[in-house]
């Protein structure tokens, strides 16, 4: 299996640190709002990478953080007149809901930056002890960038070119840094901001130190894969490398994977252009599976353009897969055995499964992998009539497995039984009695999603399938 490594700018054979195991860290969102579809791309892409590794039998330890302390969160909290933690907790819950909708597996661990401050204090102290960090008058702690000789190795930037671009930054006053390239590890609190005690000042961590610390705590000092959007290569991931490798004295991550940008109608997504979409807005219009299919229909390192037309075409393509699955299910009616013709057709299937795997082995080329799925769809549609049930079952299993690696579900929607509905209605009545209206509403919404509408009448709760 080959992975394109941003560090070496080439596809490399994947060799894990420990046989049969993969440790993987994916930078997660800053939670101050609903996630947008640009956030969804790395989530979907790297979830698919994880699913393929699992399919190959690897035990994957997948860590993805939530940045729950940040200027934007504090700003949103001040505007809403609530605490920073109210904002972050609300949007972590909303983000998890979107992730579940997009069929993204929960991470093995979803660490929160605010719960890992001790580890950050420890790593910053190590960096100070080793001469890689220093404190200035107002208590800010900076990383001494030039001391890390390999700085720039991930983004392939020359350190002197970087400095040229930063010459206008002021270097006097209480927050004076030694060098314009130095970046913040710890900063003093401002009035009314959330803060923690530290040996340097009451304050909070810089963004980059968070990921270095959470990756170390949950995956160890050296990991297999570190991933995120390409906008994180510089400075975020470059700074993570500088921190982790200076503190731990080890290579931080062996493979660095980055997905390309997502544009909207060929323009950069931005609030000011009015082309900014949250995942929630899109999944209100489309089945979340359509968004997932759309994202995987391009290679993750190619820029992706989002438009209504392309989503329509993704919807139609996905439907072809779902229809083929339904057709196969309709043929899975009896216990029988494969005919000679079926056996021949299954040889074609083997070739197509191999084609799918070859595409995934080549730096996760999901576009080609989906193309192989469509060839299986075509095989199913052209051969299942007159074939045995056993054959339909075989093909269905293949379609289900390969689609599942892409996180696409082809199973029939499970029908909810009358007895389950009655049980949920009773639970909702109990919740209302206990004045737990949030739970009551949640149950009503859950039922509605399954196509069950409730009506409160004088004679009690009535329900119908819609």
What residue ranges bind Zn ion (CB under 5 A)? 27, 211
77 three-state secondary structure: helix
Between residues 37 and 211, which has the closer beta carbon with respect to Zn ion?
211
Q: Do the Cβ atoms of 58 and 121 come closer than 8 Å? A: no
CB of 368 to Zn ion, least distance (A): 29
CB of 163 to Zn ion, least distance (A): 24
Give residue 37's Cα distance to chain centre.
Answer: 11
CB of 9 to Zn ion, least distance (A): 21
Q: Which residues contact 200 (CB under 8 A, 6 or more apart)?
A: 135, 139, 140, 141, 186
CB of 87 to Zn ion, least distance (A): 20
Q: Largest Cα–Cα distance in the chain?
A: 84
Between residues 152 and 288, which has the closer beta carbon with respect to Zn ion?
152
Where helices occur in 278-365 by DSSP H, the ranges are 279-285, 288-296, 308-331, 340-361
CB of 219 to Zn ion, least distance (A): 13
Rounded to 5 degrees, what are φ and ψ at 181?
A: -75, -15
- CA dist., res. 250 & res. 266, Å (int): 41
Between residues 27 and 314, which has the closer beta carbon with respect to Zn ion?
27
Between residues 145 and 244, which has the closer beta carbon with respect to Zn ion?
244
Between residues 211 and 402, which has the closer beta carbon with respect to Zn ion?
211
Between residues 31 and 384, which has the closer beta carbon with respect to Zn ion?
31
CB of 240 to Zn ion, least distance (A): 6
Strands 203-205 and 304-306, by their bridges, are unpaired
Between residues 27 and 45, which has the closer beta carbon with respect to Zn ion?
27
For residue 345 the two structure tokens come to 């057709």
Contacts 24+ apart (CB under 8 A), 305-312: 305/262, 305/263, 305/264, 305/265, 305/266, 306/37, 306/262, 306/263, 306/264, 306/265, 306/269, 306/277, 307/264, 307/265, 307/266, 311/282, 311/286
CB of 214 to Zn ion, least distance (A): 8
């Amino acid at each position: 299996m080959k992975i394109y490594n941003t560090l070496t700018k080439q596809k490399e054979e994947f060799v894990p640190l420990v046989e049969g195991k993969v440790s993987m860290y994916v930078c997660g969102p800053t939670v101050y709002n609903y996630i947008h579809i640009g956030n969804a791309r790395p989530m979907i892409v790297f979830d698919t990478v994880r699913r393929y590794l699992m399919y190959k039998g690897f035990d994957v330890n997948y860590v993805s953080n939530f940045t729950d302390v940040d200027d934007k969160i504090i700003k949103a909290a001040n505007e809403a007149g609530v605490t920073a933690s109210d904002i972050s907790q609300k949007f972590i819950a909303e983000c998890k809901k979107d992730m579940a909708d997009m069929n993204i597996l929960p991470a093995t661990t979803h660490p929160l930056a605010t719960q890992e401050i001790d580890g950050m204090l420890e790593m910053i102290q190590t960096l100070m002890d080793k001469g890689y960090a220093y404190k200035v008058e107002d208590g800010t702690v900076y990383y001494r960038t030039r001391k890390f000789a390999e700085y720039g190795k991930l983004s392939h930037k020359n350190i002197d070119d970087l400095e040229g671009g930063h010459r206008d930054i002021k270097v006097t006053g209480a927050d004076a840094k030694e060098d314009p390239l130095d970046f913040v590890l710890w900063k003093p609190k401002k009035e009314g901001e959330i803060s923690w005690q530290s040996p340097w000042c009451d304050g909070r961590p810089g963004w980059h130190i968070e990921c270095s610390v959470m990756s170390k705590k949950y995956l160890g000092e050296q990991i297999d894969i570190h991933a995120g959007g390409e906008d994180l290569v510089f400075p975020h991931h470059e700074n993570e490398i500088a921190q982790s490798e200076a503190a731990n004295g080890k290579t931080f991550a062996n493979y660095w994977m980055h997905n390309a940008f997502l544009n909207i109608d060929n323009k950069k997504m931005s609030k000011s252009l009015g082309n900014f979409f949250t995942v929630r807005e899109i999944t209100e219009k489309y089945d979340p599976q359509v968004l997932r299919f759309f994202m995987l229909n391009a290679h993750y390192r190619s820029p992706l353009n989002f438009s209504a037309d392309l989503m329509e075409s993704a919807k139609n393509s996905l439907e072809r897969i779902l229809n083929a699955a339904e057709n196969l299910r309709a043929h899975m009616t009896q216990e029988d055995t494969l005919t000679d013709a079926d056996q021949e057709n299954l040889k074609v299937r083997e070739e197509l499964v191999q084609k799918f795997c070859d595409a995934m082995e080549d730096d996760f080329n999901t576009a080609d992998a989906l193309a192989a799925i469509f060839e299986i769809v075509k095989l199913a549609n052209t051969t299942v009539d007159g074939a045995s049930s056993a054959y339909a079952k075989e093909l269905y299993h293949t379609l289900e497995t390969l689609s599942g690696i892409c996180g696409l579900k082809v199973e029939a929607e499970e029908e909810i039984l009358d007895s389950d509905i009655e049980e949920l209605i009773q639970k909702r009545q109990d919740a209302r009695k206990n004045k737990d209206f949030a739970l009551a509403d949640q149950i009503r919404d859950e039922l509605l999603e399954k196509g069950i509408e409730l009506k409160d009448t004088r004679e009690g709760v009535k329900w119908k399938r819609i």
